[in-house]
Structures are given as C-alpha cells and as structure tokens.
Structure 1
Amino acid sequence: MNVLSDVALADVAARLDAVDYLVDDGLAMAIFLSLRLGKPLLLEGEPGVGKTAAAKALAQALDTPFIRLQCYEGLTAGEALYEWNYQRQLLHIRLAESRGLSLDDADLFTESFLQERPILAAVRHTGPTPPVLLIDEIDRADDEFEALLFEFLGEAAVTVPELGTFAATRPPVVVLTSNRSRDLHDALRRRCLYHWIEFPSPTRAAEIVRRSVPGAAAPLIRDATEFIGRVRTLDLDKAPGLAETIDWVSALAALGVTDLAGADVVRTIGTIAKTPDDRTLLGSVLEAASQESRP
C-alpha cells in the first residue's frame, strides 16, 4: 500500500520549499511520480548539485525517518542489507554446551540474531509513514553490489536465506544518487525512475544560498553565485557546486565581506578550489574580478 499516493504535484515543491530546498519543475515531477508510483528514483548530476540534499529534504518534508546507505568500493550485503550477530551466536553455543544441550542451525539463525543494516531496516520499518532511504553514490560500489539490490528495488523485499523473504508493508521512498564515475547496470536503471539535476541558474542559486546563509549581504550572494556560474565554464578539475558556493559565501560573511571587492576574498579560495591547479586558476580569475569590482 502506497500511503504517499495522495501527495499532489503542487504539494511537492511547496513542501520542499518549506524546508528550504528549492526544486525546478523537472525535479518536482520526478519526485511526485516516485511517490505516486512507489518506484525508486535515481538522481544523477555533477557533484554538488544537491542530489543527496534532495533525499534529506524529502524526508523532512514528509516528516518521516531518513535512512542513509553510503556506498563505497567493496560494500557487501552484510553492510548494506543484513548480517548475523556472530558474537551472540557464539555465546549462545557456549551457553548451550555448558548446559549439555545440542543446537542446530535453526536455533542459531533466528530473528534474535539478525542485525538490520540500512536496506533491511527500511523494509521492516513499522511507522505510519514509510522512511526515505538514500542509497548514496551507488556508482562508487562494485558492479556485483548492484545485483544485490535488484530484488529490493523491484519488490521492496529482502530475502534472508535462513528466514525467508521480508517484504515491506509500506514500501520505503528510495532515492539513489550517482555521479556517473562508472556506468550503472541497465537492470538497475530499469527498476528506477530517472532525473538528471542540472546546476541551478544564478538566480535560483542565489535564492538557495540566501536561505542557507541568511546573514550574508545580498550583493555578495549575487556576485558570488554569478562568479561561480562563470567559472564552471573553465577547464577545472572539479567545478564548484552549490555546497562549495555556500561554504564560500559563509566564509566571506564570517569575515564581514560584503562584495567580491573585499581584500580577503582571494584568501578564501580554498572553499571553492579543491586541487592545486584549480586553486591557481580560480585565484587568478578571482583576483582579476576583485580588481574590476574595486572603485
């Protein structure tokens, strides 16, 4: 049963706006369809466009628990789905031996020894509203790990061989993110709705930064977001995203800077440049921009 199927399209943007996450029409539609159809949503885009933040904001907007699985190379089922509490099983065996009792597998592989990891926890959630499960940076995990997700993504279920299949009574809201560091399996993509998140326009970026750094001067926010928009066209190793923009404006505001002509601006370049080459390039561009802005 999809208890979120009554969420209207117009409500999606409004609810997310209420928790200070701004969406365009495309992302609002993708989230709406994911809720209405009860299907996982795969979000892709450049690093820093707000993919992870979208899932966090959605959990806030729905007033429901947020569960996160951070993917990485070598991630296993025991870390993502479930595993057995081997220490407790060993203690149980020793206790039985001390009492002269015999045990078989059925005594050791029961729910009392089962440890939930993020995916099984989302499946077995019993609250009135399903949780939001974020499977973050799925492209960082190994190819084999994706195969472990097929049953869950297609049926909102996890099979534990010793116990059977656990199926969600209220399927979780599932958001997967990818930075496209590798190609994902077609089988995974077929199980998901899809949306590519673009970098926001300078106007939208300025509104997002304004909400995140309310103490920053309006001219600083405007100039900083326009500057970031321009430098993304340069040959950078890592183009600054929204997170870096917010960090930069926060740093400048903390220093009392009100526009890009301030003397401390260039010294804060480490908030948006993440490699030596980018630091050199952005530093020179920023120095030139600061000189042009000075009266």
Structure 2
Amino acid sequence: MRAQLGEVGYLADEGVSTIAYLAVAMQRPLLLEGEPGTGKTALAEALAQSFDLPLIRLQCYEGIDATQALYDWDFTRQILHLRAVEAVGAAGDLRATEESLFDERFLLTRPILQALRGSPAVLLVDEIDRADDEFEAFLLEVLSTYQVSIPEIGTVRATEPPIVVLTSNRTRELHDALKRRCLYHWIEHPDLARETAIVRSRLPQVSERLAERVVHVVQRLRAEGSLMKPPGVAETLDWARALHELGRADLDLESASATIGALCKYREDTERVRSALDQIISD
C-alpha cells in the first residue's frame, strides 16, 4: 500500500499506509483526524488514483441533511412532465400518471447514492465534524448496511462496498457509535525528512536547496507552538512554489517576508513569523 500510494505522489508513513491497507482489506470506513493540512483529504484522493476508481466527495457543512447527501427529486422537471401529460390529453390512468412522476429520470443523485450505485468507488466524507448529530446518525446507518431505501423506487444496495474515508479537523467530538464503525487514525504533521520528500515529489521544479530551507523553517515554526494556525503541508507547498515563481533557488529574508502570505493565514501569525524569520533563516 505504501508503494502504491507513493506511485501517485502520496508519501505515507507506516501508520497511514497500514491503516489504509486494513480499511480496504476489511471493507471498513476509515476515519482520519488531525490538524488541517496534514493530508487527510489527499489520502482519499490518492486511494482513488492508485486503485483507478472514481472519487465521490461529500463536503459536510452546518445544516447538511440526508437530502443533500443522498437524493432529491427534480420538482421542476416533474411539473413540466405533468403539464406535458395534461397537454396531450393523456390523463388516462391516474395511478400510472403519478408513478411516472417518480421515474428514475427525475431522480437527482447526491454523493452517497452515487457511491452506492456506482461502486466500486472511493467515497470521501470531508469534515464530518462540521455536520450535526442527526446527520452523523444517518451516516452511521448507511455505513452499517451500504444500502438506502427510496420509497418510490425501492432499496439500492452497493454491489461492492465503496472505500469510505471520513475526515475530521476535530472542531467537535464525534459520537462513539460512528467511531466504532470505523478504523481510526490520527495524522500527524510529517517529520523533516518526509516533508522535504513531499515537496520534492510534488514540486520537482523547485531546487533541492530551496525545498530543504522552506521545510526547515516550517518545522521550526510548528515546533515553537506560538502560531494560531500552524502551517500544514499544503501551505509548505504553496510557499515553496511562490518562492520558485519569484525565481529563487534559496531562501532569503526579503523573499521569505514578501511571500509569507502563502504560509500564514492570520495577521497575528504573519507578524510573529516576520519577526522570527531572520533568526530562523540564519540558523
């Protein structure tokens, strides 16, 4: 699994590659928690690429319900269909007319139903911690059986359970019932060597010296623990690319300060980093 993920550019450590292998082998959902930017969503994308499967993404948000996740009916088309039936004078059998309104052509499939009907696939339920308790309970039921019932059509079952990856930034605690259904892994920020390797793999155009220096600074900033939002791997990549776009092959104070917006997303963090850059870069 580690080699397979590496072929599509995801450099996993032993813990991530092991839990990903077990999730696939045991056909169990994989729940990933960790700080933003540690590669949780990227792992789902890499699994889809490595297995050559479609990636179906459900982005969670406050207030999401089963309609947005499962299916809905295209009411506009249903009304137009009903008017067309009336226009041609095909009133006929009332029951048949009603049943025709709930034909599959009027069904709007949402991510979860798409994943069940289009299996095999990789279903990414991103930022599940942003959803509420009711949606979490609904999701638990679906993941327990990999099937849903649509009253007008019947039961839809996955011919092969999708590879399910749930991510959480831990803005709230998830319920134990959902956690028990999943395999769990906390993703840490990568160490110096692996993060350097990630930058070199994702941005081969960036000089080796620049990649090493950028990662060194980012690692120092995380270790100090003074930032409101420590930069993730995504920010490391953005910063290295920004410096490369300015034609830099090494890290200097002026360029680092000018491009700090690629690394820090809060004004307070920007000021802290700028004040510390001189010392960190000279070390």
TM-score (norm. length: structure 2): 0.94
Q: Distance in 2 between matches of 1:276 and 1:158?
A: 46
Instruction: Report the Cα offset of residue 258 of structure 1.
Output: 2.2
Q: Are 2:247 and 1:256 aligned?
A: yes
Instruction: Report the Cα offset of residue 163 of structure 1.
Output: 2.2
Q: Per-residue CA shift, 1:209-230, capped at 9, x if unaligned?
A: 1111111121221121121111
Change (3 A) 1:61 1:24: same
1:238-257 equivalent positions in 2, closer than 5 A: 238-257=229-248
Q: Are 2:48 and 1:59 aligned?
A: yes
Where does residue 112 of structure 1 map in the other structure?
Answer: 105
> Are the equivalent residues in 2 in contact too, given 1:93–1:103 (CA < 8 A)?
no
Match of 1:285 among 273, 276, 279: 276
One-letter amino acid of the structure 2 residue matched with residue 248 of structure 1: W
- Partner SS, residue 22 of structure 1: coil
TM-score (norm. length: structure 1): 0.90
Q: Quick check: 63-72 or 254-263, which moved more?
A: 254-263
> Are the equivalent residues in 2 in contact too, given 1:35–1:173 (CA < 8 A)?
yes
Q: Distance in 2 between matches of 1:229 and 1:159?
A: 49
**Number of equivalenced pairs:** 278
Match of 1:93 among 75, 79, 82: 82
Instruction: Report the Cα offset of residue 166 of structure 1.
Output: 0.7
Match of 1:25 among 5, 14, 20: 14
Instruction: Report the Cα offset of residue 267 of structure 1.
Output: 0.6
> Are the equivalent residues in 1 in contact too, given 2:220–2:280 (CA < 8 A)?
no
> Are the equivalent residues in 2 in contact too, given 1:199–1:241 (CA < 8 A)?
yes
Instruction: Report the Cα offset of residue 262 of structure 1.
Output: 5.0
Q: Per-residue CA shift, 1:240-278, capped at 9, x if unaligned?
A: 000000000011111122222353121111011111100
Q: Distance in 2 between matches of 1:103 and 1:71?
A: 40
1:98-247 equivalent positions in 2, closer than 5 A: 98=87, 99-101=89-91, 103-104=94-95, 105-125=98-118, 130-232=120-222, 233-247=224-238
Where does residue 77 of structure 1 map in the other structure?
Answer: 66
One-letter amino acid of the structure 1 residue matched with residue 110 of structure 2: R
Instruction: Report the Cα offset of residue 203 of structure 1.
Output: 0.5
Instruction: Report the Cα offset of residue 100 of structure 1.
Output: 4.8
Query: How much identity, in percent, do the aligned residues show?
Result: 50
Q: Distance in 2 between matches of 1:82 and 1:36?
A: 29
- Partner SS, residue 265 of structure 1: helix
User: RMSD between aligned alpha carbons?
Assistant: 1.5
Q: Distance in 1 between matches of 2:263 and 2:140?
A: 37
Gaps of 5+ in 2: none
> Are the equivalent residues in 1 in contact too, given 2:41–2:126 (CA < 8 A)?
yes
Match of 1:41 among 30, 34, 41: 30
Q: Are 2:266 and 1:275 aligned?
A: yes
Q: Distance in 1 between matches of 2:49 and 2:90?
A: 53
> Are the equivalent residues in 2 in contact too, given 1:96–1:103 (CA < 8 A)?
no
One-letter amino acid of the structure 2 residue matched with residue 124 of structure 1: R
Q: Are 2:257 and 1:266 aligned?
A: yes
Gaps of 5+ in 1: 1-11
